[in-house]
Structure formats: structure tokens, C-alpha cells
Structure 1
Amino acid sequence: MKKIFKLSLTAVALAVIAGSASAQTTGIKSTPHNLTAATGTGPNRQSSTEQICVFCHTPHAANTSASAPLWNKAVPPSTGYTTYSTANSSTIDGQVLSVGSVSAACLSCHDGTQAMDNLVNAPGSGGLVAAGSNRPYTWTVGAETISATSVANLSKDLTNDHPIGIQYCGGGLSGSAAVVSGNCKDGDFVRPVTQNINNTQVFWVDTTNAGSRTKNDIILYTRTFSAGAGPSVECASCHDPHVPSKGSDNIAFMRVTTSGSQICLSCHTK
């Protein structure tokens, strides 16, 4: 009986390891953000380095001006962008700030002004250029910049894209500890929740009922508006750059599936 019991434990352990390995393969390695030639799946791949994370992150000498962890690219200036505003919709009743926060980090690749291999700290010794520099990488598929005809190239004209840097639900909200104060100026939005994490006020729209913020919630980013600090909608509110497709619609990088417009209805009460 003891031998059978040991074998059973071994089988369980192997199953857990196999399950963990399977879970790991569904991360960024399986998305178009993997730019390596050996395992990349997207339209752009290069053969100069097999490091996946280096095109966004570096463990040392990161760009601290970016509102993204250990950012490895120069962040574009906030000027020169044209954002979605009242010129696009007369129903907008929240303040729209200039491009900033985590959205600036996203646009450092997706506004089409900077090569994808323009890095602050390239792999290997002596690869640091604090201001960022184009690297002489060899691209086996695609090119250094995202194609001008690709939706992934947003350009600096953001008037045909979901607004970013905009007060969630028209503004009117603030918070302290775990309580959201005030009321949404626009009632056609789901009320967010808030929490104090590492002495910082954070807001999110709870889509998981987990009781705490998760990557599958709509993440709101605290920015300073004319009325004070409050929740803002940014690129990463809806997008998680590390995950493959979510749901049967097979659209990558979504925090909530677009099936049945669930991603839209998470915030908009329509």
C-alpha cells in the first residue's frame, strides 16, 4: 500500500508540474508581443536576441519617467497628440488630460514614431544608452516599426480611438481608504471600487467579484484633474499586454472578453 501511495503522490506532483508548465505557455510567449524568431507568433520577429521581455522591460537602468515598471524605452513627449474629445462626441462630460500615465508607455511602441528595437538597455554588456537608441537588430519577419497600415500603429492622431486620460464616468469621484466618495457625473457608468495599496489610492471596475483588484478587472489609473485626484481611463484599463486571447473571439491583450461586448458593458451601462 505504501508503494502505491507513493506512486499516487508522484503522479499528482507530475500533474501539477505539467499544469504549471501549461499555464506558463499561455502568457506573453504566446502573444504578438513576443518578438523573438524562435518562438514568436506575431507579424514582427527578429533574430538578434531571444529575450522576450527586453523590448519593454529591463532589470537595471530603467527609464524612471515612465509610469510602467522597469520601462526599457524612451517615453514620447505628451505634446503632438490629438486625443478624443468633445470634438468627437458632444456627450463627453469628463476632463481629458494630455497623454501621460501608463498610456505614454504603451504609445512608446504604438504611436509609430519610434522603432520597436529602440531600447534604453539592450541585452549584454555595454548596451546602456539612457536616452534610448535604435539597435542594429535583424528582423526576419516584419520591420522595426509597426506597419503604418496596421491598427496597432495608432499614430499620434488618437481621435478615432477610445479616449485615454479621461475622467472615469465624467468625474465627481474621489476616495480614501476603501471608500469611493462622490457620485459619477454621468450615470451611464458602473460605479468603481477603490482601495489603498502601498499608500496609494487605486480604483478599478470590479468584473470578477474577487474582493480585491485583479488583472481581469478594468483597471483605472489615478491622475490629477482640475477637481483633484481621481480615476482615469488609460490604455491599460482595458488591455493587459502580457496575455493571449481571452474568450472565443480570439482577440489578444483584453482584460475582459469582447464576446457579447462584455468589455464595453463592464463600464458602460447600456
Structure 2
Amino acid sequence: MKKIFKLSLAAASLALIAGGASAGIVSTPHNLTAGGANPGPGPNKQSTTEQICVFCHTPHAANTSATAPLWNKAIPASTGYTTYSTANSSTIDGNVLAVGSVSAACLSCHDGTQAMDNLVNAPGSGGLNAAGSDRNYNWTTGTNKVTGVANLTKDLTNDHPIGIQYCGGGLTGSGATVSGTCADSDFNAVTTKSINGSQVFWVDTTGAGTRSKNDIILYTRTFTGNATGPSVECASCHDPHTDKAGTNSDVNFMRVTTSGSKICLACHTK
């Protein structure tokens, strides 16, 4: 009887693990697989490989020029983009930088210029091309490039600013804590701590005082006057591994729900 109970408990545990896994990236449009046990739900799917993570990450021979970890794609040049600037809003206080940081990794698919199967290290032996190259996979649904509203193009003037200095609350200091003196009362204060010897920044949406996936993550970049501080990037609001099954059930990939405009009000004091 004890043995049966243990087997039943083990089976239940495996079911929970499987359920947890299915609620991750497998259930999002970033799963580009067409076949196998876990086909993707999105508009673009290919049947050449059943690997899911390979379209962004590789455990070996990754592109080290990318800020994103173990990145498996070529990074687009920072030139040629038109960014949101003071031409769009006269009230911008923070410095705006050229496209870079983790946003460049996002745009390696979402500017629509590069194929989603442009990979550095493709599945299988002999698949390495350090510069990245299109693999001409068989796309059974959609195309090999992002289309529609997900294709931001290189004109980013109609998109939320990226590479922009976050000025909520203002931060001053020296050494590891310096971020300049940019302060704007229209934005909530930033939280900052030293983690693993590096100064990190985020807008705390949970009140926990510790950084989590459901906070607005701010990235560290160097602005005018060598001020090192928090920068708003694509992944500040978007988690590429989040699906509709979690608390952000209204829109894919949002760190904070759009219900009641909570994603906006996390930073903007309106």
C-alpha cells in the first residue's frame, strides 16, 4: 500500500512539473516549432527542428557581443534606427541613447530585417557559423521573418522609448551607485541594490523589496557625462518567457498586467 502511495505521489509530482513547464515558453508565440509534443501556438512555425530555445539561446559558441545571455543570433548594428526622442515629446528629461543593451537582442528578430532562423549555432553537428546565418528552415505557418504589429521596423518613433534614462526619484552618488542627477516627479522612484557585486535597478511593483520577474527591470547603461544608471529597454516591460497562463493573462510577455493600465502606472505617476 505504501509503495502504491509513493508511486501515486511521484506521478502527481511529475504531472505538476509537466504542467509548470507547459505554462512557460512552450505556450507562447516564441515557441516556433510546428510538430512534436509541444507545437507553438503563434503565427510563425517551422518543421525543421523541434528545439524551442535554439532560436534565441545556445549553450556553446554564443554571440558574446550580445548583452542577452548565451545569445544565438547575429546582433544588428546600432545604426539605421530612428528612436523616440525630444522630437516626439518636449518633456523628456532623460538622455536617449542609440539602440543597444538587451533591446538589440530583441530587435534581432523584431525589426523585421533578419530571419528568425538566422542562428549562430544551429542544432546538430557542424551547425556553427560565428557570424550568424540564415538556415532556410521549412516554415509551415507564416514566414521566416516577423510580420504584422510584432515587426517594429527600424523606425521606433511610434514605439515606447528604449535606451532612455529612467529619471524616477533621482539617484546620486559615486562609484557603484552613481546614476547622475536625473530626477522627474512624473515617474515613480527606482529601487537599487548591489547584487553579486553589480549595481542593479528596478521599479518595485510587488512591494517585496527584492527584484523579481514581475517588477519593471531597468538596465545599466552609460549616459551623458559618464553617468551610469537605469535605462528602459524592451525587456523592462516584457519577459520573453511569459505566457497567458500566469497573472498577466491579458497580453503575452508583459511583466505587469495591462488591466487597469497597471503596466503604465508602474512607472508613470498619472
Structure 2 residue 120 is matched with structure 1 residue 145: no
Q: Closer, same or farther in 2 for the Cα pair 1:120/1:182, shift >3 Å?
A: closer
8 Å Cα contact 1:173/1:231 also seen in 2: no
- In the TM superposition, residue 142 of structure 1 has moved relative to its aligned partner by 0.6
* Residue number in structure 2 paired with 1:234: 233
Q: What TM-score does the superposition give when structure 2 sets the normalisation length? A: 0.91
Could you say what secondary structure the match of 1:95 adopts? coil
Q: Closer, same or farther in 2 for the Cα pair 1:96/1:16, shift >3 Å?
A: same
Structure 2 residue 59 is matched with structure 1 residue 59: yes
Q: CA RMSD in A?
A: 2.2
Counterpart of 1:70, as a letter, is: L
- In the TM superposition, residue 207 of structure 1 has moved relative to its aligned partner by 1.1
2:199 pairs with 194, 198, 201, which one?
201
Q: Closer, same or farther in 2 for the Cα pair 1:51/1:143, shift >3 Å?
A: same
Offset from partner CA, 1:241-268 (integer Å, 9 cap, x none): 0110254753100001101101111111
Q: How many residues align?
A: 265
Q: Closer, same or farther in 2 for the Cα pair 1:124/1:9, shift >3 Å?
A: closer
Q: Closer, same or farther in 2 for the Cα pair 1:70/1:175, shift >3 Å?
A: farther
* Residue number in structure 2 paired with 1:220: 218
2:19 pairs with 18, 22, 25, which one?
22
8 Å Cα contact 2:65/2:75 also seen in 1: yes
**Quick one: distance in 2 between partners of 1:264 and 1:204?**
14
Q: Closer, same or farther in 2 for the Cα pair 1:66/1:179, shift >3 Å?
A: closer
- In the TM superposition, residue 15 of structure 1 has moved relative to its aligned partner by 3.4
Could you say what secondary structure the match of 2:167 adopts? helix
Offset from partner CA, 1:44-77 (integer Å, 9 cap, x none): 0000000000000001100000000000000001
* Residue number in structure 2 paired with 1:264: 264
- In the TM superposition, residue 183 of structure 1 has moved relative to its aligned partner by 6.5
**Quick one: distance in 1 between partners of 2:268 and 2:80?**
29
Q: Which moved more, 1:59-68 or 1:210-219?
A: 210-219
Could you say what secondary structure the match of 2:109 adopts? helix
Structure 2 residue 68 is matched with structure 1 residue 68: yes
Which is strand-richer, 1 or 2? 1
Point out where structure 1 has 5 or more consecutive residues left out of the alignment. none
**Quick one: distance in 2 between partners of 1:174 and 1:258?**
32
Q: Which moved more, 1:176-185 or 1:44-53?
A: 176-185
Matches within 5 A, 1:9-158: 11-38=8-35, 39-147=39-147, 150-158=148-156
**Quick one: distance in 2 between partners of 1:181 and 1:121?**
37
8 Å Cα contact 2:239/2:255 also seen in 1: yes
- In the TM superposition, residue 11 of structure 1 has moved relative to its aligned partner by 4.8
Could you say what secondary structure the match of 1:157 adopts? coil
Could you say what secondary structure the match of 2:92 adopts? coil
Q: What TM-score does the superposition give when structure 1 sets the normalisation length? A: 0.91
**Quick one: distance in 1 between partners of 2:179 and 2:78?**
30
Counterpart of 1:121, as a letter, is: N
Could you say what secondary structure the match of 2:16 adopts? helix
**Quick one: distance in 1 between partners of 2:194 and 2:18?**
34
**Quick one: distance in 2 between partners of 1:224 and 1:172?**
15
- In the TM superposition, residue 9 of structure 1 has moved relative to its aligned partner by 5.8
**Quick one: distance in 2 between partners of 1:25 and 1:36?**
14
**Quick one: distance in 1 between partners of 2:265 and 2:222?**
26
Q: Closer, same or farther in 2 for the Cα pair 1:14/1:144, shift >3 Å?
A: same
% same residue: 72
8 Å Cα contact 2:170/2:189 also seen in 1: no
Could you say what secondary structure the match of 1:151 adopts? helix
Point out where structure 2 has 5 or more consecutive residues left out of the alignment. none
